[in-house]
């Protein structure tokens, strides 16, 4: 019997965390939609060019694309895909819903939820994997408008109308071997004609987890130390090849199976995107003082306490090497390294997100001011991603459901 190709379209693909995990699970990409040129550059380099993960139809340009434009321009082609697509994966940008940032009711990005629903209406995949932040499940302005419903309810209702059995839940990725507490809204939809319950997704995920991790020498609870202790600045430095006047780290000895797993396939190289920030003397002194004197690790320092300790940014976590990381965001200044007086590098954040070291990040390292609305530099690409290690496990379960 011929081997089945499991076909997937990745919407709001970002730098490719979800696509990478599905690729590792044996899924076959048809195409991906990502509007931002910085994130698309990373996705293209790793999964389109290097891994040849996508077939990419001739009618669709291989470039950054806006889902609203695609829906409008390629209606006929999208409807022609009906019956051939097993899975549509991905969720709209989450910044407007995020509890970590400012929840913005009128953020234009929130409207992309409706573009997502329109896309599903046209393509009608067998399965849906929809991901978003936990804040997606809370209604805006509930105090002023008690009738307000969260966007998650809108999505569930629309998908059920289209004939999908739907199961929404909040999943903490740290329970699946990712060294980071990251709770996300995950919705699985299954065409009712498949006669499978969407609620079976989490049950299968939990049943498969221990075998999946032990087959790879991994465990459920991986600490920050176990994830990144081979990336210390103390190992030595070299000039950063793609960032003028900056220094990058080199590898130390791998001291955990997680590090061995992340370093597969990059023998003889230095870690990519492992460029250290250049801290001024004041900041360096502040960071040294925090590491040596602050009594608690792993807790966010903000408000009045921030001022007492001379912290000028809005807040900071001193990472605890013996615990899993807090949720990695797109703000590099949010985290102080557990041992060295510096913020984390892109590569260290990528490790905590479970990106393998061969996965290269492209475009600028950081950005600021108004450019934040337009640019998605490397730190943001990593902070916005779905951890590939979770996506890989989800991909295996979704294949079982077909």
Q: Is residue 64 within 8 Å of residue 32, measured between CB atoms?
A: no
Torsion sign over Cα 276, 281, 287, 293 = positive
Cα(236)–Cα(224) distance, integer angstroms = 20
First-to-last C-alpha distance (Å) of the chain? 17
Answer yes or no: are the C-beta atoms of 23 and 51 closer than 8 Å: yes
Q: Is 264 exposed, middle or buried (0-12, 13-18, 19+ CB in 10 A)?
A: exposed
Active site residues: 94
Strands (E), 163-275: 164-172, 183-191, 237-239, 247-249
Determine the Cα–Cα distance for residues 13 and 44; give it in Å rounded to an integer. 11
Q: How many helices (H) and strands (E) does the chain have?
A: 14, 11
Q: Which long-range contacts (CB under 8 A, 24 or more apart) does 28-32 make?
A: 28/53, 28/55, 29/53, 29/54, 29/55, 30/54, 30/55, 30/56, 30/57, 30/81, 30/85, 31/55, 31/56, 31/57, 31/60
Q: Do 130 and 189 form a contact (C-beta atoms < 8 A)?
A: yes
> Rounded to an integer, what distance in angstroms lies between the CA atom of residue 23 and that of residue 4?
14
Of 305, 304, 352, 313, the residue nearest 333 (C-alpha): 313
Could you tell me which residues come within 8 angstroms of residue 298 by beta carbon, excluding any fewer than 6 positions away?
317, 318, 319, 320, 323, 326
Cβ neighbors of 233 (< 8 A, separation 6 or more) are 249, 276, 340, 342
| CB neighbour list of residue 332: distance below 8 Å, 6 or more residues apart | 277, 343, 344, 346, 349, 366, 379
């Amino acid at each position: 019997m011929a081997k089945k190709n499991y076909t997937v379209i990745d919407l709001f693909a970002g730098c490719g965390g979800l696509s990478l995990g599905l690729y590792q699970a044996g899924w076959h990409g048809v195409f991906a939609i990502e509007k931002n040129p910085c994130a698309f550059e990373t996705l293209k380099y790793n999964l389109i060019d290097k891994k040849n993960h996508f077939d990419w139809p001739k009618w669709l340009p291989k470039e950054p694309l806006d889902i609203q434009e695609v829906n409008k321009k390629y209606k006929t082609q999208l409807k022609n895909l009906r019956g051939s697509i097993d899975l549509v994966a991905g969720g709209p940008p989450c910044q407007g819903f995020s509890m970590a940032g400012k929840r913005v009711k009128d953020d234009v990005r929130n409207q992309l939820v409706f573009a997502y629903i329109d896309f599903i209406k046209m393509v009608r995949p067998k399965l849906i994997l929809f991901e978003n932040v936990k804040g997606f499940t809370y209604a805006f302005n509930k105090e002023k408008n008690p009738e307000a419903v969260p966007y998650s309810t809108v999505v569930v209702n629309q998908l059920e109308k289209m004939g999908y059995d739907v199961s929404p839940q909040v999943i903490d990725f740290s329970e699946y071997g990712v060294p980071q507490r990251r709770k996300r809204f995950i919705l699985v939809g299954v065409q009712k004609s498949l006669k499978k319950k969407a609620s079976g997704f989490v049950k299968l995920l939990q049943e498969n987890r221990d075998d999946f991790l032990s087959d790879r020498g991994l465990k459920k609870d991986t600490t920050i130390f176990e994830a990144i202790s081979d990336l210390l600045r103390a190992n030595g430095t070299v000039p950063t090849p793609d960032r003028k006047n900056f220094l990058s780290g080199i590898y130390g000895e791998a001291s955990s199976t997680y590090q061995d797993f992340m370093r597969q396939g990059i023998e003889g190289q230095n870690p990519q995107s492992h460029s250290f920030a250049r801290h001024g003397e004041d900041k360096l002194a502040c960071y040294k003082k925090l590491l040596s004197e602050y009594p608690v690790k792993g807790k966010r320092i903000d408000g009045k306490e921030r001022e007492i300790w001379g912290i000028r940014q809005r807040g900071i976590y001193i990472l605890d090497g013996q615990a899993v990381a807090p949720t990695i965001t797109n703000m590099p200044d949010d985290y102080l390294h557990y041992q060295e007086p510096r913020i984390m590098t892109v590569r260290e954040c990528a490790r905590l997100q479970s990106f393998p070291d061969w996965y290269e990040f492209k475009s600028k390292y950081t950005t600021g001011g108004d450019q934040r609305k337009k640019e998605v530099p490397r730190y943001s690409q990593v902070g916005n991603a779905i951890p590939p290690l979770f996506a890989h496990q989800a991909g295996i379960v979704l294949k079982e459901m077909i």
